[in-house]
Structure 1
């Protein structure tokens, strides 16, 4: 009989389940009023006296083992039920995360940076609150120069020498002051001009300007660089350069890309010419090089600048520049699939 009880002890220790009904059936089998333990206790009177002590100890061991097993299984089942109640079905797929959208300005800026990085241009940045020297004077625009009127400027009232930069050329000045040629850098950033806000213009917008300074840099190098850029960004290989005027470059030019006249939108964008102006450019004026501590007799270079907002309007067929700064979620969600 003692051996039989020991076999039940082993069976109890091995038993496991996460089913509530199975646990209850196990409890009734051993601990119920008609369970095996009551049967074993009833047999106690028939056990020889010399075995009663061992018999009693074995029964108590079985009772303790069965009671502990039932309690442990019930506790585990309750914890599992509670966890499922808090977190739900842990085997279900997680909630899908909302896919964010890059701003069209960021999309175009990253494209421009990536294109120029392939031909060795790095990225330089500078402050948006600038001083007169870096924004104007060093760029061949001394005080009272008439060309300053080309850029309606936001000045800081407490200090007339401090202003919101009107172009990222100020970053190029700072870069030339702190780096020796050869220099090959682009400067993307936000700029400010005191202009009326409309569908085609804003008081703040984004530019990216490029600068290349080295020995024997020619206008042919400039044209080839811009040819590469327009082909990569627009897929248009036909460009033209029209004479223009910028105080910090000489000679200077406006760059047009041939957009084509395939659709009604093309006619409207190009005013029926097929040509679209995208940037200004030119050879860096020797005075600018000298102002920045670079010997203009030894080095030459070219610079260019374009509006990121304008290019974003072209590439994504956006009709109103104000949409780029109004944070309308309905507008921004259209760019979820963009890079």
Structure 2
């Protein structure tokens, strides 16, 4: 009985010719594995009578050696064949495609804003994200009791003489102060950068976001210059025909101050969720630089005047690309970012 099994398996081994490594591995498991045929035959050998052990023991050992030799031979053949195929490079085959990266939508908006204002003669200025009280608040005409100094709005990170003095900047206006402190008019610059405020994260707010602020200081600068500059900016960014309106507002560092609205780019005017069904969306705050700010920076407010403005890049991107959730800008979701590959072309 055992002899018949061995003869049958021997014929199967001799005829075996695998097409790939997977078939060879199946052969190894079937014959040489811990639960394979050879293991089973050795278990059966224990039941053979003493007079037959010598004969069948020799046959069984030869069978095991045959299986081992066959496996090793086929393994070497497959390895040689695979290596040979790897060296056989067909240069006529088409190349493999690769994924193309994309710029972040905020980077696209930032670059476009910079390009528009550069054509108007504005330069780009930058400053530190960790600021002291003077550059972030006091020089900008914020009284000591101003709500923006409270912990619910600002990330204070260090106290000096018992006073909250070092904080993550809440706006890029601090860069304007540094520019005016260390230079002489005229100034014409924009200040893009990241800012921080202690707010609950939601679809409409985040604890960090990005601003672009602008400053123009020279002799005889008027509110008309401010309006015409911003009107030109809106037409360049959102297209001709975009309507603009200014509403009186208040900021400690400008007087008079205004907020600027544009006609909703999503619905075109009838009303939608983005514009809260008013047909208008506020995109920035602006105004004439307060004389106190100029004097704080060592500039003669009787000789020089200026205007300043500030906008959130996320709001600009929302209107340009119809993005309704601010959290998408910082989650690095590849599915979201891939939508902007065409903007690079």
TM-score by length of 1: 0.71
1:306 counterpart residue number: 311
1:106 counterpart residue number: 107
Q: Structure 2 unaligned runs (5+)?
A: 1-82
Query: Matched residues in 2 for 1:151 and 1:86: separation?
Result: 66
1:165 counterpart residue number: 169
C-alpha change, 1:260 and 1:332, in structure 2 (3 Å) is closer
Superposed displacement of residue 319, structure 1: 1.4
Q: SS at 1:269's partner residue?
A: coil
Deviations 1:178-210 (A, max 9, x none): 221111000000000000111100000000000
Q: Who wins on radius of gyration, i.e. which is larger? A: 1
Superposed displacement of residue 157, structure 1: 4.0
1:206 counterpart residue number: 210
Superposed displacement of residue 146, structure 1: 4.6
1:121 counterpart residue number: 122
Superposed displacement of residue 268, structure 1: 1.8
Residue 176 (structure 1) aligned with residue 186 (structure 2): no
Residue 186 (structure 1) aligned with residue 187 (structure 2): no
1:220 counterpart residue number: 224
2:20 counterpart residue number: none
Conserved in 2, the CA contact under 8 Å of 1:250 and 1:283? Answer: yes
1:27 counterpart residue number: none
2:140 counterpart residue number: 139
Of 274, 279, 283, the residue aligned with 2:279 is 274
Query: Matched residues in 2 for 1:171 and 1:256: separation?
Result: 25
2:97 counterpart residue number: 96
Query: Matched residues in 2 for 1:319 and 1:293: separation?
Result: 43
C-alpha change, 1:264 and 1:297, in structure 2 (3 Å) is closer
C-alpha change, 1:286 and 1:263, in structure 2 (3 Å) is closer
Of 320, 326, 329, the residue aligned with 1:321 is 326
C-alpha change, 1:145 and 1:273, in structure 2 (3 Å) is closer
- Provide the aligned C-alpha RMSD in A: 2.3
Q: SS at 1:206's partner residue?
A: strand
Conserved in 2, the CA contact under 8 Å of 1:151 and 1:166? Answer: no
Q: SS at 2:97's partner residue?
A: coil
Conserved in 2, the CA contact under 8 Å of 1:102 and 1:335? Answer: yes
Residue 243 (structure 1) aligned with residue 264 (structure 2): no
Aligned length: 258
Q: SS at 1:338's partner residue?
A: helix
Query: Matched residues in 2 for 1:151 and 1:123: separation?
Result: 31
TM-score by length of 2: 0.70
Query: Matched residues in 2 for 1:328 and 1:317: separation?
Result: 17
Superposed displacement of residue 145, structure 1: 3.4
Q: SS at 2:206's partner residue?
A: coil
Query: Matched residues in 1 for 2:172 and 2:302: separation?
Result: 25
Query: Matched residues in 2 for 1:245 and 1:150: separation?
Result: 21
Q: Structure 1 unaligned runs (5+)?
A: 1-81
Conserved in 2, the CA contact under 8 Å of 1:130 and 1:162? Answer: yes
